[in-house]
Amino acid sequence: MNWEMNSVLNSVKFHSLEKWKYEEVKHLCKELNLYELRPVEALHGIPAKSVSLRHSSGVHLVYSGDTMPNEQLIKRGFDCDILIHEATFQQKDIAQKSYHSTVEDAIDVSERMKAKHTILTNFVNEDLSQQTRELLLSKSNVTVAVDFMRVRMSDLPYTPLLNPFLIHR
């Protein structure tokens, strides 16, 4: 247990957690050494949450979950260390109809959020336009995730180097 854990738990900032069980969230924060957990309503066809987490080490991680681009998430995650954002569909109209994001949407959110590193999830290679390929390959802070991928903070400067191999034609 962290030497300051009791004081951290007493000062954890819980926001919009009225539907979450306080004791379960408190336990989660203790186990993960979080000092802030802030859910954000995702813009999705069914009730869903995005979340901003701040670790006691100072790392700020934002996870979009399934959502369209979301101004509230951009504000909550501003200047985060890591943004994990879904990029499910390549066609804007399909993404909007299904309340998801495109690669371009996720990169735009990342840039507006000023995220230091971005990991794209739910990424599908099929029907990827040349313009989208070039956009992905031009970003030195964006990584395309693959199933079961594990990344350490120290890996993040290098993971975008894998993108040319993960974005196959």
Residue 128 has a pLDDT of 83
Q: What is the mean pLDDT of each run of 10 residues along the chain (169 residues)?
A: 38 52 81 91 90 95 95 97 94 90 96 98 82 93 93 94 84
Tokens 């186990």 belong to which residue? 31
Task: State which H helix or E strand residue 14 sits in.
Answer: strand 13-14
pLDDT at 47: 86
pLDDT value at residue 86: 95
E strand or H helix at 23: helix 22-32
pLDDT of residue 52: 95
Amino acid 163: pLDDT? 92
Domains of the chain: 38-166 (3.60.15.10)
Q: What is the pLDDT of residue 16?
A: 52
pLDDT value for 125: 72
Which stretches does DSSP call E strand in 30-164? 34-41, 49-55, 60-63, 82-86, 117-121, 142-144
